[in-house]
Chain A
């Protein structure tokens, strides 16, 4: 720390001189980068954001630090508003989840057009899996469907809240398989996992990363995956697609820039996150947490957003909202 400070002092003088002489060169951040996280501290999205930050820090990739800033309020609405009104768009980026698409649709009053945001990087997508407690004795999806139907509306599942990713999947299942499920909203994935382990709730839909510990200890059993193909870490778990339902649902783990970010800054962050994406650390993280790799460049992302918005519109319409 100290040593860096002394070096910095010497560098400061040099910087002042060079910044006078330098013209419009490539963008370099001149102040800490506001790294907004669309979720509260401790959730899955937060862990990924902090992991990305730590990789950048460890490899010394940025001349100014990424400063994590949790803004999870209002299902991510708070983060979207903060980015829309960012005073310095060149130093404001956001780690997103699917509430990036869903929240502007559900809360029209926010008046957020996500296409005005600056695409930076798609870091991967997180699939969803249906989990039950091992003591329930249920081992197959068919068995589970029977149990839920027999419970006649008294089957209890927990999740992170109405309109959140897991509730969207559950609502889809209710429609597709004609089920009636009692849904208990919690304030975070950790609380859901705990109450599933303690059998306060009977099942949950969660990303593999958040259920992994309990899966390894044998406390929870995966029944079905909502991914396009079977997952490497769970080769025996079938997908709903195999059962003939054309449905898959992933949580996006993407980074976007504030609306109005300059092209130079956008190019800088795209380059930065490409570097992070290619690091061994991130690749290993994706493998161990069962994220599906999905790299998209800026144009592909814009197109991806448009399809996702349409998908969510269709899903919400199907749910009768």
Chain B
């Protein structure tokens, strides 16, 4: 049991005074970075560099794990309190988190998110510790066709998420997918959909620009209009007793979501091309599917908060796996981390687990510790976020707008995107008035950039033969499952129509 020894050393190291202090600072910082719309763990990791020169590399790694975990917890906070998904991984959290907050149950949502995140992170850490090398070879078996099949499955799990108006839902999905294609065609290497030759479109339309526009501006304008600006902020109260009661209720109603999220999130997260976002979306979809009363989802069900939160924490830990076992970055965050390792004099690659096992297990050990402190600190800060919600709306609203503009800029550092965000916001306001569901567009712009290239890479591999999605041992079953799931609701709609027609 050499592994346990190394792991124990790693955890013990994290508990040294200097390191413990770094964990506390890191988690708190990460929490706020994650809670800020437009910033995420990538930005958190970027501030690591200067710190590296002040403390020994071992402590720097621990600091890093702390920021990483803090940021993952923080994502849920802006989704719930502000209604803006701060990162693509937290989109699904808004579906039920926001309604809960508007019903005055923000504390329930926040507590559920924190506990689910903790469980997700812990499950992922354990799976990681036990099966890392085996899982790495599984990840390698996922080529372009498998990833595309998985994207298809992700779409399938949320076909039910749209509104009642089918053409408007389909429109929303398609426009998201088209926006995802803006910028540059990876396969032919040619610029594509660069509207009016404005150079700002060359880098494509960032997910955050659309998400902040839709939720931070469009949704806010809609709220101002529909409540006549007289929104009485939620009467959320906070007390220790309240937290205990909320955690009981959150777990009672959210355990299914937590379980689904923890495992599904992890397995999707370890695939380098997929990552945490599809993982959290699929977990939400699956949890809704297996729920006893799926119609409660989207209106404020704790399970709808628990599933994506457990999943994105679990998946983010999982995405460290290809990095540590193969030296392959699964996300921009891990890519910057890999760069950091080179600076520390380590060689990323398949030999890292063997040659630099102390580093690897030190990092994993600090994951366990950071995860625990992230939960504690997150719970401690919940009253602060609740207090924010109780501010008069005429103070909260401008704060949300300011955060949106700042976040929209910080995401790509381009004023072009801030204007685009305002345009999306105003557009979203009017579309919302006419019952166009916008969540599908936001989801589509996240999955589109993964789905399209993998589709075309696969077809290049097979010389244009679509059979490649069916005759590969892993891709085949996933594709078929996805197609069945997509056809199921359509079938139901047709059946219902027939019935009403017969009745009439």
Which residues of A approach B to under 8 Å, CB–CB?
Answer: 40-43, 46-47, 50-51, 53-54, 57-58, 68-69, 71-75, 77-78, 81-82, 107, 109, 154, 156, 161-164, 167, 182, 184-187, 190-191, 193-195, 197-198, 200, 212-214, 216-217, 219, 285, 288-289
B353 shortest CB reach to chain A, Å:
10
Chain B 187-202 against A: per-residue CB contact (8 Å), 1 yes, 0 no? 1110100100101001
A48 shortest CB reach to chain B, Å:
9
B132 shortest CB reach to chain A, Å:
15
With the chains together, A197 CA to B184 CA distance in Å? 27
Most B Cβ at <10 Å: residue of A40, A162, A198? A198
B221 within 8 A of A: no
Q: Judging by beta carbons under 8 Å apart, are B186 and A213 in contact?
A: no
| B144 proximity list for chain A (CB < 8 A) | 184, 195, 200
Choose one: A154, A161, A198, A288; the contact of B143 (CB below 8 Å): A198
| B236 proximity list for chain A (CB < 8 A) | none
Q: Judging by beta carbons under 8 Å apart, are B322 and A185 in contact?
A: no
| B141 proximity list for chain A (CB < 8 A) | 198
Q: Judging by beta carbons under 8 Å apart, are A58 and B202 in contact?
A: no
B339 within 8 A of A: yes
Choose one: A51, A54, A197; the contact of B140 (CB below 8 Å): A197
Q: Judging by beta carbons under 8 Å apart, are B202 and A81 in contact?
A: yes
With the chains together, A200 CA to B350 CA distance in Å? 17
B441 shortest CB reach to chain A, Å:
21
| A43 proximity list for chain B (CB < 8 A) | 335
B148 shortest CB reach to chain A, Å:
12
Interface residues on B, range: 35 or more
A4 shortest CB reach to chain B, Å:
10
With the chains together, A84 CA to B458 CA distance in Å? 38
Q: Taking A74-B203, A190-B335 as contacts, is the C-beta distance between A47 and B342 under 8 angstroms?
A: yes
Q: Judging by beta carbons under 8 Å apart, are B183 and A57 in contact?
A: no
B204 within 8 A of A: yes
Q: Judging by beta carbons under 8 Å apart, are A47 and B191 in contact?
A: no
| A288 proximity list for chain B (CB < 8 A) | 347
| B142 proximity list for chain A (CB < 8 A) | 198
Q: Judging by beta carbons under 8 Å apart, are B53 and A58 in contact?
A: yes
Q: Judging by beta carbons under 8 Å apart, are A42 and B328 in contact?
A: no
With the chains together, A182 CA to B456 CA distance in Å? 13
With the chains together, A293 CA to B460 CA distance in Å? 38
B422 within 8 A of A: no
With the chains together, A198 CA to B336 CA distance in Å? 23
Closest B residue to A71 by beta carbon equals: B203
B461 within 8 A of A: yes
Q: Judging by beta carbons under 8 Å apart, are B460 and A182 in contact?
A: yes
A232 shortest CB reach to chain B, Å:
17
Choose one: B139, B338, B342, B352; the contact of A42 (CB below 8 Å): B338
Choose one: B42, B183, B335, B352; the contact of A73 (CB below 8 Å): B183
| A69 proximity list for chain B (CB < 8 A) | 413
14 more CB-based (< 8 A) A-B contacts, given A51-B342, A164-B189, A190-B272: A42-B338, A43-B335, A54-B49, A57-B50, A68-B46, A71-B203, A73-B204, A74-B202, A186-B186, A193-B328, A194-B326, A200-B143, A213-B350, A217-B349
| A154 proximity list for chain B (CB < 8 A) | 463
Q: Judging by beta carbons under 8 Å apart, are A191 and B202 in contact?
A: no
| A72 proximity list for chain B (CB < 8 A) | 203
25 pairs of residues in contact across A and B, judged by CB atoms under 8 Å: A40-B332, A42-B336, A53-B49, A68-B46, A71-B203, A72-B203, A73-B183, A74-B183, A75-B184, A75-B189, A77-B202, A81-B199, A154-B463, A161-B187, A162-B188, A164-B189, A184-B144, A184-B460, A186-B453, A212-B349, A213-B327, A213-B348, A213-B351, A216-B350, A217-B351
Q: Judging by beta carbons under 8 Å apart, are B191 and A198 in contact?
A: no
Q: Judging by beta carbons under 8 Å apart, are A41 and B42 in contact?
A: yes
B402 within 8 A of A: no
B343 within 8 A of A: yes
With the chains together, A195 CA to B351 CA distance in Å? 17
With the chains together, A216 CA to B342 CA distance in Å? 15
